[in-house]
Structure 1
Amino acid sequence: MPTYKHILVPVDESPISYAAVENALALANELQATVTVMSVIAVDPFIGVDFYKVAPAVTDYFMKAEEAARLRLKEIEDLFIRDNIPVNTKIIHGVSPADGIISIADEVSADLIIMGSHGRTGFKKMMLGSVAQTVLTQSPIPVLIIKM
C-alpha cells in the first residue's frame, strides 16, 4: 500500500467539504502525513469587462468571499493543529476550481488529494460540471472522492 506524505484537501462552504476534512484528519493521523487545506476564489466570469471590474459591489463580493475562505480555512486548520497534524492553508484566485486544485497539488508536492463530491449525475452533471470529475481525470496523483 502506498504511503502518502502530503495530502491536499480542497474545501468550500459545503457540508461535503467537511466530510472530506474528517477523512483527511483520520488518514493524516494514521500516516503521519502533512496536510494542505485550500480554497479557490472562483474565476470572475466577466473578466475584461471594465465596468464590472470597478463596480464597488463586485469588489465587496470578492472581499467577502476572501474573508469567508480565510475564516473557513482557519477553523479547519485548528482541527489539524488540535490533533498535532502538520497543516498549511492556501487560497488561490483567478482560476477555475479544478485548475486551482491541480496547481496547488503540484506546488506543495501533494501525493494525494481528498475532496468531496456532490455526486451529481446525468443532466445536472452536464449542466453544472463537476470539479471532482475534472480533478479526477486531470490529476497526475491519486484522488480520493468523498461522497455524501
Structure 2
Amino acid sequence: MYSHLLIPIDGSPLSMGAMQTAMAFARDAGAEVTVLTVVEPFHIFTVSPEQLQAKRGEYERQARAHAADLLAAAEREAKLLGVRCEVVQVESDDPYLVIVETASKRGCDLIAMASHGRRGIAALLLGSVTLKVLTHSKVPVLVYR
C-alpha cells in the first residue's frame, strides 16, 4: 500500500494530532516516515506578533529551537510506535512548495497532513497550505481534520 509517508507539522494542536494519527497509520502499514517542519524566515514588515517583538537573530534562534522541539516530539512518537523516522527542517516563505518538493525528492508515496494549521489571517488571505499542497502535489494527500 504505502511505504513512505511525508508528515508536515507546524506545531498547531491539529497538526500534532494529525502527526500522531499518521504515525499510527504508518505503523499499521509498515511504512517509514519523514516529518517536515518549515520555519518562516524573519521579515521586517510582518503581522506576526513574534516577529514584531524580536530582533532577527533572536527570532531565528527561537524559530529553529521551536522547530527542533516539534521534530523531537515526532521522533519520540515514532520511536514509541516502532516507526522508522527521519526529520527535516527547512526555512521558506512557501511551505506548500517545500512540502511538495520534499515528498518528490524523498520518494514519498503519501503526504499526511492536517486540514489547517496556525496560519490564521494569512491563510484566509493567501489560501491554506493544505489547499495549495492538494492543488500542486502529484503525490496523494491524506488530510486529517
TM-score (norm 2): 0.84
- In 2, distance between residues paired with 1:39 and 1:129? 19
- In 1, distance between residues paired with 2:32 and 2:111? 12
Pairing of 1:46-65 with structure 2 (within 5 A): 57-65=55-63
Aligned to 2:34: 36
Is 1:82 the equivalent of 2:76? no
State which structure, 1 or 2, has the greater radius of gyration over its C-alpha atoms: 1
**8 Å contact kept, 1:102–1:135:** yes
TM-score (norm 1): 0.82
Gaps of 5+ in 1: 48-55
Q: Cα deviations across residues 15-62 of structure 1 (Å, max 9, x unaligned)?
A: 111121122122111110000111001244559xxxxxxxx8112101
Aligned to 2:105: 107
- In 1, distance between residues paired with 2:10 and 2:65? 13
**8 Å contact kept, 1:115–1:132:** yes
Aligned to 1:51: none
Gaps of 5+ in 2: 46-53
- In 2, distance between residues paired with 1:124 and 1:39? 18
How many residue pairs get aligned? The number is 134
Aligned to 2:49: none
- In 2, distance between residues paired with 1:37 and 1:12? 10
Q: Give secondary structure in 2 for the equivalent of 1:140.
A: coil
User: Alpha-carbon deviation of 1:125?
Assistant: 5.4
- In 2, distance between residues paired with 1:89 and 1:25? 13
- In 1, distance between residues paired with 2:90 and 2:59? 16
Aligned to 1:135: 133
**8 Å contact kept, 2:34–2:85:** yes
Evaluate the alpha carbon distance shift between residue 45 and residue 96 of structure 1 in structure 2; reply closer, same or farther with a 3 A threshold. farther
Aligned to 1:117: 115
User: Alpha-carbon deviation of 1:94?
Assistant: 2.8
- In 1, distance between residues paired with 2:58 and 2:122? 30
- In 2, distance between residues paired with 1:95 and 1:118? 17
Misfit runs of 4+, over 4 Å: 43-47, 123-126
RMSD of the TM alignment (CA)?
A: 2.2
